[in-house]
Chain A
Amino acid sequence: MTPIPLTAFLIIAAILFAIGLYTILAQRTAVMVLMGIECILNAVGLNLIAFWRFTAPGDYSGQIFTIIIITVGAIEMALGLAIMMLLYRNRQTVQVDDYTELKG
């Protein structure tokens, strides 16, 4: 069986990234925006693990790095959802466009 080439991984990662980017820009609900962010993070993780596998499979630091990213992503997701819960409790909406406090 021929090994799957690096390019395939990269293409999948790019598609994943594009989906995430589109979600972030196009969606108005905070949950969807968070999911978009998660997609982007996973795209980055996929890129990392693919490059590790194809360039330096003997060194495990790439793998560790990816695991850290996944952990950080989970924590981030948890924090993001918690913040959203609080926001919802205060304002009864999770539409990001309703939160314009940062307007200068």
Chain B
Amino acid sequence: MTALALVPLAPFVAALAIAAFGKRLPARGGWLAVLGILIATIALPFFFDQRINVGIEWFTLGHWHFGLSLHLDGLSWALAMLVAWVALAVNVYAVRYMRPEAGRVRFHAWMTFFVASMLTLILAGSLLLLFIAWEGVGVASYALIAQRHEESEAQRAALKAFLMTRLGDFGLLLGWLMTLHFTGTTDIATLLNAAQSGSLPQGVPLLLAMLFLAAAIGKSAQLPLTAWLPDAMAGPTPVSALIHSATMVAAGVYLVTRLFPLFAAAPPALEVVLWIGGVTAVLAALAATAQADLKRILAWSTVSQLGEMFIALGLGAPIAATFHLITHAAFKACLFLGAGAVERATGSHELGQLGGLYRRLPWITAAFVAAALSLAGLPPFSGYWSEERILAAAAATHAGWAIVLLVLIALAGVYIGRATMATFGPWRQAPRQNRSYKPWIMLAPTLALAIAALALGGLVHQPIGRLLPFAESPPIADGWWKTGAIIAGVVGLAFGVWRTLRGPVPALGKWPGVLGAGVHRLADATAHAALSISTALCALERGFDRLAQRVVAAAWAMAQGTRIGEDRGLWVVNDGFAEMLGAAGERLRPLESGKVFWYSAGVFGWTLLAGIAITLVVWWL
């Protein structure tokens, strides 16, 4: 079934065509991009429930085989579908969104190239191809963050993103080279078989898992490689929607999921995954509640949600992680597209300059709210179903992690409630609000994603367990946890909204009065603590920045030191030697007077002395 290659190739060819002829195409290649992705989107459903493994031998060296192969199973099919559809929606949206900007050919070409690389990454059957695609999405991300390259902020963000993710990438490089060393191929299936059958030497699965985990941490912006993702918001909003929330940053989660049997064979690695995910998720959620910029709230929220997926993986529930990845992609892309529309309508995404947009952007408001509710984990929205699965896995292993998850759900409610109210809420009015803003090319994809955020979870939460090649886990947490999750979501949302209001407002209904002063005070204190912690974490975010800068500064200082050592040290030693020889020559210079008399006198005098010396020596002997 080599037709599978069509899926990544169609967008790739489109990317090349846009790069070559973009200037002459409608919408500067935007529609061609959509066409290329559409082909992939249409082709994918035909491969439903198939197991395909096609590949070519790239080259061989001795007994080492460097193969490039595509591998299709339930997992890669589901994620490829997700990537293709979200990419389709975002690219349609981008045609209109990008209209006022410069460099559109570049944008569309890189965007399509990204989709091709991302599809390759997901469908890759060999680690080598996966690595190539992994670097491909990294380069595309770099170029797209730097899209508005006149802004120095965008330059710095692009540099930071590429460097920090590449730091992790080398884990993947070492990982697949080590795989090659131990199995002779870079085939993922071979590696997983070896890991499961225990034929790898002692300690190797753990080492490999840690190396791959480094790559996953970098791509998915987990601690300590988090700082780049919020900064990456300097790119255009469709880029944030597609790359920095829905697909590329989820590649880390996908990598761990894909290699889950390897991680399962190395339990300490899973433990590390769990803790990194947990700490990141909580910190990022707290940080999100303190942001003043709509896109940055969403970025921190993405980090937090990815952390939740890591928690799920660490708890041994890859199905839950994948499910949450899918629903998260839908609702987070929808949120970003909404934010992009807000940005186009008002020219800003600072919360302080927004407000009251529900009148001007009714459809966007509806879509944003649907996605926000999904993020807050309210039934029957998608987020509810996937969070339930993670919660079920946590409740089955350790109640502590289940409580962490409840906290996370509540925090998600707080920040997304705050963001939604501050942007669309009816009490503050944006300065310019008369003109209604309804470009349908931007609205349709947003609404489509909103519908996905609404219904996708409910539709697939049963079949997904059968589709994925992992052991089934309970889809729904039992009674108490389930109720707790819903309550956490509601409380969080309500609290977020309330904080934005700063006082009783009718839109919230009667429940604050009913709950009474006691609950009020308790929640207030907790939230105050949470909010003050999260304000403190704003400093932490700066700390992440500073840490990254510190490392760069240290590297710079080291480089300067090397240069100085080079200039003052080795230079002096080497040149000093030459100068010493030169000075010696200078001393001897007067001997060469140029007078024939002295030369001839020297010759004869020397001969005379030599003759006398020889005579004396002979006589003495």
Contact = CB atoms under 8 A, between A and B. Distances in A.
A100 B594 contact: yes
Given A25-B597, A96-B597, A97-B597, A102 B604 contact: no
Contacts of A21: 604
Interface string B580-593: 00000000111111
Contacts of A103: 592-594
Interface in B565-619: 588-597, 600-601, 604
A25 B600 contact: yes
A101 B594 CA distance: 6
Contacts of A100: 593-595
Contacts of B597: 25, 96-97
A33 B590 CA distance: 24
Interface residues of B, number: 13
A26 to B, nearest CB: 9
Interface residues of A, number: 12
Nearest to B590: A104
Contacts of B604: 21, 25
Interface string A10-50: 00000000000100110000000100000000000000000
A99 interface: yes
A102 B592 contact: yes
Interface in A73-104: 96-97, 99-104
Contacts, number: 30
A69 to B, nearest CB: 19
B596 A33 contact: yes
Given A21-B604, A25-B601, A25-B604, A97 B591 contact: no
Contacts of A101: 594
A99 B595 CA distance: 7
A25 to B, nearest CB: 6
B592 A97 contact: no
B425 to A, nearest CB: 93
Contacts of A25: 597, 600-601, 604
Nearest to B585: A104
Contacts of B589: 104
Of listed B589, B591, B597, residue having the most chain A CB within 10 A: B597
A97 B601 CA distance: 14
A21 B597 CA distance: 11
Nearest to B597: A25
A97 B594 CA distance: 8
A99 B594 CA distance: 7
A25 B597 CA distance: 6
Nearest to A28: B597
A96 B590 CA distance: 18
B577 to A, nearest CB: 22
A88 to B, nearest CB: 16
Interface in B351-397: none
Nearest to A100: B594
Contacts of A97: 595-597
Contacts of A104: 588-592, 594
Given A21-B604, A25-B601, A25-B604, A99 B596 contact: yes
Nearest to A102: B594
A96 B597 CA distance: 8
User: Which has the most chain A C-beta neighbours within 10 Å: B592, B593, B596?
Assistant: B596
Nearest to B589: A104
A96 B596 contact: yes
B606 to A, nearest CB: 13
Contacts of B592: 102-104
A93 to B, nearest CB: 13
Nearest to B603: A24
Interface in A35-72: none
Interface string B519-536: 000000000000000000
A24 B602 CA distance: 12
Nearest to A27: B597
A38 to B, nearest CB: 14
A87 to B, nearest CB: 12
Interface string B167-211: 000000000000000000000000000000000000000000000
A96 B596 CA distance: 6
Contact of A24 (B588, B594, B595, B600): B600
Nearest to B600: A24
Interface of A: 21, 24-25, 33, 96-97, 99-104
Given A97-B595, A104-B592, 11 more contacts: A21-B604, A25-B597, A25-B604, A96-B596, A97-B597, A100-B594, A102-B594, A103-B592, A103-B594, A104-B589, A104-B591
Q: Which 10 A-B pairs have the closest CB atoms?
A: A104-B592, A103-B594, A100-B594, A96-B596, A102-B594, A104-B589, A24-B600, A25-B601, A103-B593, A103-B592
30 contacts: A21-B604, A24-B600, A25-B597, A25-B600, A25-B601, A25-B604, A33-B596, A96-B595, A96-B596, A96-B597, A97-B595, A97-B596, A97-B597, A99-B594, A99-B596, A100-B593, A100-B594, A100-B595, A101-B594, A102-B592, A102-B594, A103-B592, A103-B593, A103-B594, A104-B588, A104-B589, A104-B590, A104-B591, A104-B592, A104-B594
